[in-house]
Chain A
Amino acid sequence: MEIFLQQVVSGLATGGIYGSVALALVMIYQATDVVNFAQGEMAMFSTYLAWSMLNAGVPYWAAFFATLAVAFVCGVVIERVVIRPVENAPVLTIVIVCIGLLVILNSVAGWIYSYIQKPFPSPFPEKPITIGNVFFGAHDLGALGVTLLVLLFLYVFFRYTTLGLAMRAAAQNPVSSRLCGIRVGWMLALGWGLAALVGAVAGLMIAPIVFLDPTMMSGILIYAFASATLGGFTSPGGAVLGGLLVGVIENLVGTYVKFIGTELKLTVALAMILVVLLVRPSGLFGRVAVHRV
C-alpha cells in the first residue's frame, strides 16, 4: 500500500509537469489551430535564459519573472516574424516551419551552452515532506502548485477579461471577429506569447528534475502530446488532468506489470493514447467537433 501511494504521488509530480507543457500546447492550438512542435524547444531556451541570469547572480524569483517576460515577448516576436508569412499557407506548411524552428532553437542552444547537462536550482526547500510513510518531494509539490496556479490564471484570463474573450473569439471565428473590430493577427501573436510564457514556467519547473540540456524537453513533449490527447485538445483543464493521469498510470504500470517494467513504459503511454482516441476521438474532456454539411 505504501509503495502504491508513493508511486501515485511521484506520478502526480511528473504528471503535473506533463500537464503544464500540455497546457501550453493546448493554448496555441486553441488560439491558432496550430500544433506547435517547437513548444518544447521554446521552453528549453527560456530555461537557459533563466540559467544565464541565475549565474550572473540575479535572485531566483527576479530571474523567474524576467524569464517569463522575455519568453512572452519572444513568443509574440516569433509569431509576427516566423509564422505570419505562412499564415494562409496549408496547415502542413506551418507544421514544417515549426519543425524548422525546433531544429534551429535546439541547435543554437547546443551551440551557445554546449550539450553538457547542467544542474538547475529549485526555488523550493530540499527536505521532503512526510505524511505517514509517504514522501512528498517539496519541489514536486511546489511544481504541481505552480502548474495549478497557472491554470487558474489562464482560466480567469480567458473567462473574465475582455482581452481573453477577444482572443477566444478570434480563434473561433476570425472573420466575424474582424468585423467586430478585433485585431485577429495580434490576438494570434498574443496567443503565442502566452503559450511561450506557460512553456517557460514548465521549463523552469522541469529543469531541476531532469537537469538542463538542449534535449531535455523532447521526451517531455511526447508525454505532453499524450496528456493533451487524453484530456482533449480543446480543454485546458483537461490537458492538466490528462497530464496527471498519464504520470500516475505510467508509474503504476511500470511498477506492477512485470511484463512491461521500465522498458516499455513509453509504449504503454502511447497505447493509452490510441485507445482513448479510438473510444473518444476528441479526448476525455474535449469538445466534439461539429461539421456543417
Chain B
Amino acid sequence: MSRGQGWRRAIVLAAIAIACALPFLLSNFRLFQFTQVFIYAIALLGLNILTGFNGQISLGHGAFYALGAYTTAIMIDRWSVPYGWTIPVAGLLCLTAGFLFGIPALRLEGLYLALATFALALAVPQILKYFEHWTGGSQGIVLSKPGAPLGLTLSPDQWLYFVTLGVLILLFVLGANLLRGRTGRAIVAIRDNPIAAQAMGVNGALYKSLTFGVSAAYTGVAGALSALAIAFVAPDAFNVFLSITFLVGIVIGGLASISGAIFGGLFVQFVPNWAQEISKAAPWAIYGIFLIVFMYAMPRGIVGALRLAGARLARFRG
C-alpha cells in the first residue's frame, strides 16, 4: 500500500513540476487554454464532490459559476476592490448560496433534483439580463487583466496561470483532505446507503446541504478565476450548456475521483477544438461521436479506465 502511495506522490509532484514549467514553454494563447483547463478542473472537482461523492446530481452548477464570476466582476468594476480579495468573497457567497439551495434540494432525489437544478441553470442568463443596473445587461462587464505584482517579470497571462495553479493546488489539497477523513466517509456513506448512514449517527440533512455549499463554493471560485482570465463577463456565456459541459466533464473524467477533475478539464477544453479541426462543417457532430465513443470505451470515465488498467497490470505481474 505504501508503495502505491509513494508512486502516487511521485506522479503528483511530477505533474506539478511540469505545470510550473509550462508558462516558459508555451505561447500566451496555449497558456491561456491551460489556465482554462485548471479553472474547469476546479469547477469539476466542486461538482464531483456533490454528484460523484455525495450522489446528488446537479445540472445547474453553471449558476454558481456565474455567481462567482459576477461577484468578482462587480466588485472590481463598481467598487474597485483588489482582485485577490474578490476570489474568497466569491467562494463564500457561493458557499452560502449553495447551502441555502441545498436545503430545499433535500426533498428531491435523482431525476427531480437534476431537473430542479436544470431550472436554476436555465434561469441564470435571463436573471442576469434583468438586473441590468448591476450586471451591465447583455453587454456584460469588461475588466482589465491584472498584471504581475512588482518585482516579477511575468506577462499577465503567465501571472494568471500561476494564480490559477496556486488556487487549484490549494483547493485540491483541501478537497482531498476533506474527502479522505471522517467527513468524506460520511458524504460517501450518504450516497451509498442513506438509511444506514443515518443509523450510524450521520446527520444526513446537514451533510447534504453542507456538501452542496462546499461544491458551490468550488465552482464559484472557478467562476471568479474565469472572470479574471477572460477579463469579461456576459450573461450568454453562462447558458445551460455550461452546466451540461460540467456534467460531461465529471463523467468523462471519472465520477467520485479527485484526479478525474483534471482529465475532465482537459477534455472539455481541448476536445471541442480538435473536433473543430477535424470537421469545420459539423464540429459538434464529431464532438458528439467523441462523447459516445468515450462512454463505450470507458463507461466509468478516464480514471476508471486507468484504475482497471492498473489492476490488470498488477495481476499480470503478481
Q: Which of A211-256 contact B (CB under 8 A)?
A: 222, 225-226, 229, 233
Q: Is B176 an interface residue (CB 8 A)?
A: no
Complex Cα spacing A278 to B108, Å: 8
Q: Is A149 an interface residue (CB 8 A)?
A: no
Complex Cα spacing A283 to B288, Å: 32
Q: Which of A88-118 contact B (CB under 8 A)?
A: 89-93, 95-97, 99-104, 106-108, 110-111
Contacting pair B285 A103 (CB below 8 A): yes
Number of chain B interface residues as a range: 35 or more
**CB < 8 Å: which of B111, B119, B126, B283 contacts A233?**
B111
Residue among B195, B251, B255 facing the most chain A CB atoms (10 A cut-off): B251
A139 to chain B, nearest CB (A): 27
Contacting pair A270 B119 (CB below 8 A): yes
**CB < 8 Å: which of B114, B195, B248 contacts A99?**
B248
Contacting pair A93 B126 (CB below 8 A): no
Q: State which of A66-74, A170-178, A195-203, A260-268 sits at the interface with chain B.
A: A260-268
Contacting pair A96 B126 (CB below 8 A): no
Q: Is B134 an interface residue (CB 8 A)?
A: no
Q: Report B-chain residues with C-beta under 8 Å of the C-beta of A263.
A: 126, 129-130
Q: Which of B271-310 contact A (CB under 8 A)?
A: 281-285, 287-292, 295-296, 299-300
Q: Is B115 an interface residue (CB 8 A)?
A: yes
Q: Report B-chain residues with C-beta under 8 Å of the C-beta of A146.
A: none
Complex Cα spacing A43 to B296, Å: 25
Complex Cα spacing A263 to B131, Å: 11
Indicate whether A104 sits within 8 Å of B115 (C-beta atoms), given known contacts A266-B123, A267-B123: no
Q: Report A-chain residues with C-beta under 8 Å of the C-beta of B122.
A: 222, 266, 270
Contacting pair B282 A107 (CB below 8 A): yes
Q: Report B-chain residues with C-beta under 8 Å of the C-beta of A270.
A: 119-120, 122-123
Q: Hey, what's the 0/1 contact readout for B58-96 against A, CB within 8 Å counting as 1?
A: 000000000000000000000000000000000000000
Q: Report B-chain residues with C-beta under 8 Å of the C-beta of A93.
A: 251, 295, 299-300
Contacting pair A107 B284 (CB below 8 A): yes
Indicate whether A274 sits within 8 Å of B119 (C-beta atoms), given known contacts A104-B284, A107-B282: yes
Contacting pair B299 A90 (CB below 8 A): yes
Complex Cα spacing A51 to B300, Å: 40
Q: Is A77 an interface residue (CB 8 A)?
A: no
Q: Report A-chain residues with C-beta under 8 Å of the C-beta of B300.
A: 89-90, 93
Complex Cα spacing A101 to B252, Å: 15
Q: Hey, what's the 0/1 contact readout for B105-138 against A, CB within 8 Å counting as 1?
A: 0011111101110111011001101100000000
Q: Which of B237-281 contact A (CB under 8 A)?
A: 240, 244, 247-248, 251-252, 255, 281
Q: Is A53 an interface residue (CB 8 A)?
A: no
Q: Report A-chain residues with C-beta under 8 Å of the C-beta of B130.
A: 263-264, 267
Which B residues have a C-beta under 8 Å from some C-beta of A? 51, 57, 104, 107-112, 114-116, 118-120, 122-123, 126-127, 129-130, 195, 240, 244, 247-248, 251-252, 255, 281-285, 287-292, 295-296, 299-300
- Can you list 29 A-B pairs with a CB-CB distance of less than 8 A? A35-B111, A85-B296, A86-B295, A90-B300, A95-B247, A96-B252, A96-B291, A99-B291, A100-B291, A100-B292, A100-B295, A103-B291, A104-B284, A104-B289, A107-B287, A108-B282, A108-B285, A111-B281, A222-B122, A226-B119, A229-B115, A264-B127, A267-B127, A273-B115, A273-B116, A274-B119, A277-B107, A278-B104, A282-B112
Which A residues have a C-beta under 8 Å from some C-beta of B? 29, 35, 82, 85-86, 89-93, 95-97, 99-104, 106-108, 110-111, 222, 225-226, 229, 233, 263-264, 266-267, 270-271, 273-274, 277-278, 281-282, 293
Additional pairs, 17, CB under 8 Å, beyond known A96-B252, A96-B291:
A85-B296, A90-B299, A91-B110, A93-B295, A97-B295, A99-B248, A99-B291, A108-B285, A111-B281, A226-B119, A233-B111, A263-B126, A263-B129, A273-B115, A277-B115, A281-B108, A282-B112
